[in-house]
């Protein structure tokens, strides 16, 4: 099998890196130990047919133990946990697999120019929603007061979300009766259905549980409530049944779910941080689904050969992760200070060769990109009109460095007569593919004359927002793509001690022109205007080289053949959007 894998990767050369290739060999060896059936001379692993019964427990591997299973937690995860968020929660509306917005907790979507969506002469808005009748998982009636309470919590400054979208655009949330929510807006705002992935969520919170702990002068009392983890109560298709710290959590189908009782009775989410262990578990028939975060495209190569090809399962690659090299933009943290110069960032961008990364990490099938948007995004055409591109061009990179006063010394590295050698750190989260990635990047940069050193953020700090925001040089990571990524880069969304390190703008990027145009974009209701503004936003962001986009990275969802109903969602959507309709027999 090792020989077969070797012939599959003819493009991996010493210029790229031998580490990813060796990793694949290690994976092949691991597969050989996954079960007795995979030993030399025996057939490939098979999954024994389950005995006939109405429903089985669906076993899912997720990469990290969630800090919370809330859809908008007050302690940010730093890792996309789409499945647990969807299991236990429901929103006003959601995107389906055709990118259409569907009402969920509400009877119908607000319509502009009707009583449900009014724009006042001073530019403000009022939107009205009729709630469908349902109950929280503890049996308490779900009412409009839960949205009013949610706004009180998210708009509490000490909790860190008051400056983030869409909370900062809302003036008041009222509950004139148990099934009517009225939102008064400070400005016009297009995403009145709060569709996750398009902008930002405004989920309901159970006031009957959290009311007493919401004390503005004691934020830790609220944030550290056991409600957010082991005592969680939501309104989604599953309710929390068990949570074993460091091991797994389980959800059971909720009888009162609005979309009907889920067809799968029980789902178990196991916390498995090592992708190779996940691979072995899938091949052994112990894991039935990977959630997009727990295994990488490297493991999918093995699964395609040893599992999918034998009809044991399938794989959906969901192109929803913006993979980029983010520069530190805060003067208080950056080192060296030369990284604050956009010309330096352009020089580094032109020296990034994506091909070795594509070959080693994605088997040549990576979705190379120049912005946070894949072509199939809702904003694809507008983005293409505005994006500034930085193709691999070592000569252009060297020309820009000369303009900055840098030249290569006898050791082959760039140095400046007054600032010395240009040395910087490239950092990433602990994970086999991440580490392979920065090894290739570091090698490529050093060959180009940039003294890059590699650093790894330990898995124990993967959900620590302060650790993820205070890197000195550059940080490679993935986050949800598209509009949410763009709008999360405003100055107000920069994490800091003052806002409890909340916000998606971890690099601290700040551009007044970008902030002003983002504000205009979030107010615009005309689709044509918004397209023009989006093109301009992408132009500003890419010309400023806020980051170096590498790929729109697909999250692989590998599923056993017995699991039915999983479909590929749009980049802005959640693969588990219709979880209640999945079947597993």
Burial of 455 (0-12, 13-18, 19+ CB in 10 A): middle
Lowest-confidence region among 73-77, 174-178, 214-218, 222-226? 73-77
Instruction: Give which of 295, 299, 273 is closest to 23, Cα–Cα.
Output: 299
Farthest CA pair distance, the chain: 78
Measured distance CA(83)–CA(555) in Å, rounded:
12
Query: What was the pLDDT predicted at 445?
Result: 97
Instruction: For residue 472, give the nearest of 329, 322, 345 by alpha carbon.
Output: 329
Q: How many helices (H) and strands (E) does the chain have?
A: 17, 21
Q: What is the mean pLDDT of the chain?
A: 88
- Does 21 score more than 90 pLDDT? no
In contact, 330 and 341? CB cutoff 8 Å: no
Residue 499 three-state SS: helix
pLDDT in tens, 333-361: 999 999 999 999 999 999 999 988 888 88
Residue 28 confidence (pLDDT) above 90: no
Q: Of 460, 472, 538, 464, nearest to 501 (Cα)?
A: 464
Beta strands across the sheet bearing 407-408: 407-408, 414-416, 420-421
Rounded to the nearest 10°, the torsion over CA 129, 251, 100, 532 is 90
Per-position b or e across 389-401, b if 16+ CB within 10 A of its CB = ebeeeeebbbebb
178 contacts 143 by C-beta, under 8 angstroms: yes
Per-residue confidence (pLDDT) for residue 127, from 0 to 100: 98
pLDDT over threshold 80, residue 567: yes
The angle at the Cα of 393, spanning 389 to 398, to the nearest 5 degrees, equals 115
CA distance 273 to 432: 10
Choose among 123, 120, 71: nearest CA to 93: 71
pLDDT at residue 51 is higher than 80:
no
Cis peptide before 374 (omega within 30 of 0): no
What is the rounded CA–CA span in Å between residue 519 and residue 255?
Answer: 42
User: Is residue 115 scored above 80 in pLDDT?
Assistant: yes
- Give the model confidence (pLDDT) of 482-535 as tens digits: 988 888 899 999 999 988 888 889 999 999 999 999 999 999 999 999 999 999
Q: Which of the two residues, 21 and 548, has the higher pLDDT score?
A: 548
Determine whether 8 is exposed, middle or buried from the number of CB atoms within 10 Å of its CB (0-12, 13-18, 19+).
middle
Identify the burial level of 194 via C-beta atoms within 10 angstroms of its C-beta, where 0-12 means exposed, 13-18 middle and 19 or more buried: buried
Contact (CB, 8 A) for 182 and 176: yes
pLDDT-derived band at 35, boundaries 50, 70, 90: very low
Residue 527: exposure state from Cβ atoms within 10 A (0-12, 13-18, ≥19): exposed
Residues 267/584, Cβ–Cβ less than 8 Å: no
Distance (Å, rounded) from C-alpha 18 to C-alpha 507? 30
Are 554 and 481 within 8 A, CB to CB?
no
Between 47 and 471, the more confident residue is 471
Report H helices in 309-393. 342-350, 354-362, 380-386
Residue ranges in 387-526 assigned as alpha helix (H) = 394-403, 432-448, 465-469, 482-487, 512-523
With a cut of 80, say whether residue 199 has pLDDT above it.
Answer: no
Contact indicator for 116, 128 with CB cutoff of 8 Å: yes
pLDDT (average), residues 32-36 = 41
With a CB cutoff of 8 Å and minimum separation 6, the contacts of 188 are 119, 123, 124, 125, 523, 524, 525
pLDDT above 50: residue 48: no
Q: Which of 153, 136, 147, 139 is nearest to 234 (CA)?
A: 136
Domains contained in the chain, CATH given: 90-216 (3.90.76.10), 228-319+556-584 (3.40.190.10), 324-553 (3.10.105.10)
Which pTM was predicted? 0.78
Of all residues in the chain, what percent carry a pLDDT higher than 90?
Answer: 71
> What's the DSSP call for residue 167?
G
CB 123 within 8 A of CB 149: no
**pLDDT (tens digit, 9 = 90+) per residue, 125-162?**
999 999 999 999 999 999 999 999 999 999 999 998 89
Q: How far apart are the C-alpha atoms of 275 and 279, rounded to whole Å?
A: 6
**What are 204-224's pLDDT values in tens digits?**
999 999 999 999 889 999 999
Q: Give percent of the chain with pLDDT exceeding 70.
A: 89
Task: Grade residue 29 by pLDDT with cuts at 50, 70 and 90.
Answer: very low
Cis peptide before 336 (omega within 30 of 0): yes
- Residue 50 reports pLDDT greater than 90: no
Instruction: Give 430-441 pLDDT, tens digit per residue.
Output: 987 889 999 999
Rg (CA), the chain: 24
Residue 63 pLDDT > 50: yes
248-301 confidence digits (pLDDT tens): 999 999 999 998 999 999 999 999 989 999 999 999 999 999 998 899 888 998
Alpha carbons 523 and 526: distance in angstroms, whole number:
9
Please tell me the least confidently modeled range out of 23-37, 149-163, 208-222, 365-379: 23-37
Query: Could you give the CA distance from residue 219 to residue 279 in angstroms, rounded to a whole number?
Result: 41
């Amino acid at each position: 099998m090792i020989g077969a894998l070797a012939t599959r990767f003819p493009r991996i050369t010493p210029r790229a890196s031998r580490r990813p290739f060796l990793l694949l060999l290690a994976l092949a060896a691991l597969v050989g130990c996954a079960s007795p059936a995979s030993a030399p001379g025996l057939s490939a692993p098979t999954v024994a047919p389950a005995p006939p019964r109405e429903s089985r427990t669906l076993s899912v591997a997720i990469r990290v133990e969630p800090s919370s299973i809330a859809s908008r937690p007050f302690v940010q995860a730093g890792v996309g946990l789409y499945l647990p968020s969807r299991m236990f929660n429901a929103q006003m509306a959601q995107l389906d697999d055709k990118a259409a917005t569907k009402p969920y907790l509400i009877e119908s979507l607000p319509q502009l120019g009707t009583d449900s969506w009014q724009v006042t002469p001073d530019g403000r808005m009022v939107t009205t929603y009729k709630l469908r009748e349902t109950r929280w998982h503890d049996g308490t009636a779900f009412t409009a007061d839960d949205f009013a309470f949610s706004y009180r919590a998210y708009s509490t400054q000490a909790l860190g979300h008051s400056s983030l979208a869409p909370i900062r655009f809302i003036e008041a949330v009222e509950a004139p009766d148990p099934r009517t929510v009225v939102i008064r807006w400070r400005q016009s705002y297009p995403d009145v259905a709060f569709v996750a992935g398009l902008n930002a969520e405004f989920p309901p919170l159970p006031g009957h549980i959290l009311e007493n702990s919401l004390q503005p002068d004691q934020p830790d009392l609220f944030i550290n409530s056991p409600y957010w983890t082991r005592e969680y109560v939501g309104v989604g298709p599953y309710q929390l049944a068990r949570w074993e710290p460091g091991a797994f959590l389980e959800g059971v189908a909720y009888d009162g779910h609005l979309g009907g009782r889920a067809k799968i009775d029980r789902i178990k989410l196991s916390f498995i941080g090592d992708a190779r262990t996940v691979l072995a578990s899938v091949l052994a028939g112990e894991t039935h689904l990977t959630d997009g975060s727990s295994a990488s495209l490297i493991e999918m190569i093995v699964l395609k050969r040893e599992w999918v090809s034998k009809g044991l399962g399938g794989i959906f690659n969901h192109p929803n992760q913006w993979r980029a090299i983010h520069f530190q933009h805060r003067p208080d943290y950056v080192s060296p200070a030369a990284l604050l110069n956009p010309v330096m960032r352009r020089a580094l961008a032109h020296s990034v060769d994506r091909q070795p990364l594509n070959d080693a990490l994605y088997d040549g099938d990576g979705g190379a990109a120049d912005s946070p948007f894949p072509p199939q995004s809702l904003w694809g055409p507008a983005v293409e009109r505005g994006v500034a591109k930085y193709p691999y061009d070592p000569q252009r990179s060297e020309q820009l460095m000369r303009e900055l006063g840098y030249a290569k010394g006898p050791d082959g590295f760039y140095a400046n007569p007054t600032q010395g050698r240009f040395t910087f750190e490239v950092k990433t989260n602990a994970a086999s593919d991440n580490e392979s990635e920065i090894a290739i990047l570091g090698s490529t940069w050093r060959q180009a004359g940039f003294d890059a050193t590699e650093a790894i953020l330990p898995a124990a700090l993967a959900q620590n927002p302060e650790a993820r925001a205070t890197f000195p040089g550059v940080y490679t990571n993935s986050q949800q793509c598209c509009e949410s990524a763009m709008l999360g880069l405003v100055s107000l969304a920069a994490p800091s001690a003052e806002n409890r390190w909340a916000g998606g703008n971890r690099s601290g990027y700040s551009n007044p022109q970008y902030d002003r145009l983002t504000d205009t974009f979030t107010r615009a209701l005309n689709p044509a205007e918004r397209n023009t503004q989006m093109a301009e936003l992408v132009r500003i962001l890419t010309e400023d080289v806020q980051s170096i986009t590498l790929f729109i990275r697909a999250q692989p969802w590998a599923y056993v053949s017995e699991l039915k109903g999983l479909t590929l969602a749009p980049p802005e959507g959640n693969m588990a959007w219709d979880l209640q309709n999945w079947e597993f027999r």
